[in-house]
Amino acid sequence: MPELPEVETIVRGLDRLVPGSRIREAEVIRPDLIEGEDAASFAEGLRGARIVRVARRAKNILVHLDSGLLVVNLGMTGRLLVRSPDDPPPTHLGVRLRLEDGRELDYHDVRRFGRLQRFTGEGWLRREEALGVEPLSDDFTAEHLYDLTRRSRVAVKTWLMDQRRVVGVGNIYASEALFRAGIDPRRHASSLTRPEAARLRDTVREVLQEAIDFRGTTLLDYRDAQGESGAFAARLQVYDRAGEPCRVCGSPVERIVQGGRSTFFCPSCQR
C-alpha cells in the first residue's frame, strides 16, 4: 500500500500538473471504487469542476475543486496518473477524468481496494477528526509520541501503523524507523522510555523525508503521477531483506508477522 512518501510524491506531481484545469467529463468504469454515492451522481458532481490545488492528508490525496473536494485513497495498488492523448491507457482503468485541455486524470487500480469520494468542506472535516497527527508536522513532538504510548500494550510496530495515532506510516517505514531507532518491534508501546520515544520520533521523520526525497519506494505497483518508479527501495535497511545480513552488524535480518503484516528487523541491533 502506498504510504506517506508515495502519496506525497504523487501529490507534489499532481499539484504541478493539474491546478487550473477544468474537468470536462468524468467516466466511472468501476462503480465499486466510488464511495458515498452512486457512480452517476459522482460523475455528474465532477463535471465542469475546476481543480484548484492538490494536497495530502494522511494517505489520502485531496483534490480541491471550486465545487468541493475529491478525496482519493489508493488502497493497495491504486495509481492516479496524468495522461496525454498520445500516452497508452492504463490497463486497469477505474475512473477517467477528461480535462478540457485534452489530458486525462486517470485512476487505475489492479486490486480495486482504493476509493474515491466527493466531500463538502465540512463533510471532510468531520472525517478528518478520526485521523492522527501528521509525522512531518510540528505537532509530532517527542513528548507527544511519548504521551500517546503510555496506555498501550500493543506492539510498538503495530501501534505506529495505527492511523488514529500517527498517520501515513505503514509497513515499510514502520520497520525502517524502528530499525534506525534500535527498538525491537515486538515491545509494547508503553515500554518506550522518553529517550527511546525521542529517537523514534526523529527516525520516523528522517526515513519519511528521505523516502520523499527519493520519490518513494517501488517494490511492485507504485508509480508517481507521471508513471515513474520511486528510488528509495535501494536504501531499505531491513524491509523485505529477511535472511540477508544486517548492513550494520552482519546478523541475519528476521521476519515475523504482526497483525497480519510482515515485520522485518535485526535482532542484534534492535532491543
Give the residue numbers marked as catalytic. Answer: 2-3, 59, 261
Beta bridge partners of 54: 63
Distance CA 50, CA 62 (A): 14
Distance CA 197, CA 182 (A): 11
Under 8 Å CB-to-CB from 122, ≥6 apart: which residues?
none
Going by the DSSP 8-state scheme, the letter that residue 154 receives in this structure is: S
Do the beta carbons of residue 185 and residue 233 sit within 8 Å?
no
Distance CA 225, CA 222 (A): 10
Report the candidate in 80, 76, 74 with the shortest Cα–Cα distance to residue 106. Answer: 80
